[in-house]
Structure 1
Amino acid sequence: MRPEALPVDPRRPDDLDTATLLSLAGAATDTLIRAAIRERGFEVTRAHGYVFQRLLAGEQTIGELAADLGMTQQGASKHVAELERLGFVIRRVSSNDRRARVVALTDAGRAVIDAARVARRDFDDRLRSVLGSDDVAALRRALGGLLDDVGVSARIADRSIPWSE
């Protein structure tokens, strides 16, 4: 005989599984951070953030961006074209290979990154005021351990987390 399933109230976070809580918390955090960036005058998408992170490691060709971010060259080109139109990146001839064109951040692109850093710092401060410094530190350790366990820590370190929709 199978035991009766316990009633789950999806309105109560305590009734949700950890994976769902992490997913919802991540999406909510992403929305808050992007809203804070918008308030600072920059309109960017989640996908743009992946490109920005990769370009912080240095200029890249479209092919390199696509490979590092796990997307097609057409997808990378689309994101770069959007960022170029917004003035956040430029394409120029590579200093290493005159036949190749590389994508690099502009000053405006670096300003977006600075705005995102401020927004994330403000979020951390808000979290500390709600949870307390000890709980935030414990949360950071737990999330770091989770990222190690799922094998993405090295990808984080070299700023090559694959883009996923």
Structure 2
Amino acid sequence: MPDSKPPDNEPTVAEDLDAATLLSLAGSLADGAVLEALRARGFRVTRAHGYIFQRLLTGDQTITTLAADLRITQQGASKHVDELERAGLVSRRVSPHDRRARMVALTDEGRIAIRTAREARAAFDEHARAVVGDELLAATRRALALLLDDSGMSRHIADRTIPWAD
């Protein structure tokens, strides 16, 4: 009969997991909370769409610029913009600088989706504060910010060009 116990070197509780796994799982938990709130309000968006939204917060963009900034193909950027356009969250118009190019812009409905996501992240923070307390949450935020700074991610955060992460 096979042993039903996990091997000794396999963590069986969250506290025993390595930092990378904990960060990944916590990020998935946060993403899930935001997506659930958006879907409850009727927005059919994905985590990937968030990268497009973030970039559009800096202003209208061409597909070429979106793709380059997010480090994805133009076909990939077009696919996601098409989905967001069908959902009424972005629109396209002719570029005033190059009539061959199309500019992608947030619609009013897209801005409402962004506000909804921000409200969901704030609610997630409040839940985290209730679970771990102010001091530990503040220390966790500082630690995560230090890791992001060390990786060079702060520049991408500042200009909203966080590279696509699959």
Query: Where in structure 1 are there 5+ consecutive unaligned residues?
Result: 1-5
Query: Where in structure 2 are there 5+ consecutive unaligned residues?
Result: 1-6
State the AA in 1 paired with 2:70: L
After TM superposition, give the deviation of residue 60 of structure 1 in Å.
0.5
Aligned equivalents of 2:120, 2:44: Cα separation in 1: 14
After TM superposition, give the deviation of residue 9 of structure 1 in Å.
4.5
State the AA in 2 paired with 1:95: P
Match of 2:79 in 1: 78
- Where 2:61 maps in the other structure, the secondary structure is coil
1:21 lines up with 2:22 in the alignment: yes
Contact 1:91-1:101 within 8 A present in 2 as well = yes
Match of 2:98 in 1: 97
Aligned equivalents of 1:152, 1:140: Cα separation in 2: 15
Aligned equivalents of 1:124, 1:23: Cα separation in 2: 17
Q: CA-atom RMSD, angstroms?
A: 1.3
After TM superposition, give the deviation of residue 37 of structure 1 in Å.
1.5
Q: TM-score, normalised by structure 1?
A: 0.93
Superposed counterparts of 1:23-42, under 5 Å: 23-42=24-43
Contact 2:30-2:121 within 8 A present in 1 as well = no
- Where 2:97 maps in the other structure, the secondary structure is coil
Match of 1:3 in 2: none
State the AA in 2 paired with 1:39: A
State the AA in 2 paired with 1:79: H
- Where 1:127 maps in the other structure, the secondary structure is helix
After TM superposition, give the deviation of residue 96 of structure 1 in Å.
2.4
State the AA in 2 paired with 1:101: R
Counting aligned pairs with the same residue, the percent is: 62
Aligned equivalents of 1:21, 1:101: Cα separation in 2: 41
Aligned equivalents of 2:117, 2:65: Cα separation in 1: 24
Aligned equivalents of 1:96, 1:118: Cα separation in 2: 36
Greater displacement, 98-107 / 62-71: 98-107
**Residues matched between the structures, number:** 160
After TM superposition, give the deviation of residue 27 of structure 1 in Å.
1.2
1:108 lines up with 2:105 in the alignment: no
